[in-house]
Amino acid sequence: MSISQIRNILLLSANPKKTSQLRLAEEMREIKEGLRLSENRDLFSISAAEAIRPRDIRRAILTYQPHIIHFSGHGSQEEGLIFEDETGAVKFVDGSALAGLFELFANQVECVVLNACHSKYQAAEIARHINYVVGMSQEIQDKAAIEFAVGFYDGLGAGKGYDFAYKLGCNAILTAGIKQHLIPELIQSQNLKSPLSSTVSQNIYIERPPSEAKCYQEILQPGALIRIKAPQKMGKTWLLENLLSYAREQGYQTAKLDLQQAENSILDNLKSFLQWLCVDVSDSLDIEPQVNETWQDIYGVNKNCTRYFQKHLLSVSESPLVFAIDNFERLFQYPDIFSQFCLLLRGWYENAKGGDRVANIWKKLRLVVVHSTEVYPSLDSNHSPFNVGIPIELPEFNQQQIKAFATGYELDKQLGQNLIKLMELIGGHPYLLQQAFVNLKSQQINLEQLFTLAPTEEGIFSDYLRQLLWHLQHNPSLEVGYKKVVRANAPVRLDAEVAFKLHSLGLVKLSGNDCLPSCDLYRQYFSERLG
């Protein structure tokens, strides 16, 4: 960084409704005050944009022409950074989309700071195009985030480079008595490894053949419909994001609808839900919504939604449109909407099978539906989830994939034979492995503590284990059945429906018609807690 050239800094922030409230105003105030007091204060120009929506990012960059962009807010390792939609609710923007945006401004932007939890994943994508990017490897306390920001800009204000400013920010966290100084990570584009093989990507994505190949092949087919299902935290969204990235490489348009973002009022009735869907997809494609102008009550709501997609989304471009619906299981608890929406999706799927003009329009639509199987225990046994199209069920990692995952975190040598011990404890569960690797990498825990505390409330898996315990305690037949499984020394034969639902929760592996715990961690934890 040349100290003689003025640097424009753009401070962006977002704290949508129903997310934990952060001290964003304090962070911005401290940054401005630190630079105002600095020796080189005349060499920095600061602009700010608050409560930003995705479209506001590009507008702010075009308006203020920043050299440094600082984002304060929330992040999610799989979904992306959290911005606001038109109503102030949560709107995710993934790493691929952000990287594509920053690629357009690579000749201008020198440094990006993502002061948000779990933002390392997006930082790695952006760093393909920007020389210096800071992201957070895991959740970071509000106070630690502020201390890092103040230290970082104190360094810049003193005329130091980005790497020194980053180290000063980390030290500021430690000096404040907060043991989170290893969470910020500086990624420099010149230090990025070249794209790895299909085993591990920049996001340490591990392929599980043939799942990815089947998805990539199917998404190219006119009128395709892919269903990705697995228990929670098995990597469904990772697979979805890679599939969407692949589709964009083919020149396809993509739109992702996350049903976790739908407020309860939106799900009050089918009409409000489908109108929200149409607006959200239009916004994703940067098309001005025209729902009010085209919706006609003489038609049923499903027909109106179909007309909107056909006239305003599919007919405006020759490129195929991949429409992905994540967290589809949210609709299972709204049976009236669920049944009608499934009929709608089936209708779109069938529309593409003909040979007329309308069918050719619908052939451009490729549907991807992603849902967790945890909801199965609460469903009526006669209630069949959406079941058309090509199913993709994600398995756990095998031994080779676990080793590749550890290598991605540069922990393979440190773990040595303990990797086998870790595999015996938690199997190949992607989320549990990730939690172990992240905590070991950041030195939040050592190996001895990990193994000793794993099945206890002090362990790093306790939150996840309590979620599973809740499911069991709210379904007596599953609780009784699973108690038999974890306390037995051999596979246990259970009622077929109980076995199916335990398997849907990810709690058991099937050996023929018999059940055994998915991993030793579950055996230890649940044998103590099931009465």
Overall average pLDDT of the 420-424 stretch: 96
Averaged pLDDT, 113-123: 89
DSSP secondary structure letter of residue 320: -
Residue 393 has pLDDT above 70, yes or no: yes
Question: Which homologous superfamily does the CATH classification assign to the domain defined by 210-393?
Answer: P-loop containing nucleotide triphosphate hydrolases (3.40.50.300)
pLDDT of residue 85: 79
Q: What is the model's pLDDT at position 212?
A: 94
> 208: closest CA among 161, 242, 232?
242
Could you report the per-residue pLDDT of 333-384, keeping only the tens digit for each?
898 899 999 999 999 999 999 889 999 999 999 999 999 987 765 555 444 5
Q: Give the whole-angstrom CA distance, residue 75 versus residue 92.
A: 8
Q: Which of 523, 515, 509 is nearest to 496 (CA)?
A: 515
pLDDT, averaged across the chain: 88
pLDDT recorded at residue 378 = 57
- Element of type H or E holding 115: strand 111-115
CA-based nearest residue to 60, from 13, 17, 127, 19: 13
Number of helices (H) and strands (E) in the chain: give both, helices first.
22, 17
Sign of CA dihedral 255, 261, 265, 269: positive
pLDDT at residue number 198: 30
210-393 matches 7-188 in CATH topology? yes
**Residue pLDDT, tens place only, 241-262:** 889 989 998 999 999 998 988 8
CA dist., res. 181 & res. 387, Å (int) = 47
User: Residues 285-306, buried b or exposed e (16+ Cβ, 10 A)?
Assistant: beeebebeeebeeeeebbebbb
CB contact at 8 A, 173 and 151: yes
H/E run at residue 228: strand 225-230
Q: Give ∠ CA 268-272-274 in degrees, rounded to 5.
A: 120
DSSP-derived secondary structure letter, 455: T
Residue 2: is its pLDDT beyond 60? Answer: no
Tokens for 468, please give them: 């599973």
User: pLDDT at position 160, please?
Assistant: 86
Rounded mean pLDDT of 396-412?
93
Residue 367 Rama label (left phi>0; alpha psi -120 to 50; beta): beta
What is the CATH class of 7-188?
A: alpha beta
DSSP 118: T
d(CA 205, CA 96) in angstroms, rounded, equals 14
Query: Distance between CA atoms of 404 and 420, rounded to whole angstroms?
Result: 13
d(CA 489, CA 516): 9
Domain ranges of the chain: 7-188, 210-393, 399-530
Q: Which pLDDT tens digit goes with each residue over 43-85? A: 888 888 887 888 888 899 998 889 999 998 888 766 788 888 7
Concatenating the DSSP letter of every residue in 131-168 gives: SEEEEESS---HHHHHHHHHHHHHHHHTT--HHHHHHH
Q: What is the pLDDT of residue 203?
A: 53
Instruction: Please compute Rg for the chain using Cα positions.
Output: 25
Report angle CA 257, 263, 265 to the nearest 5 degrees.
125
- Distance CA(334)–CA(337), nearest Å, equals 6
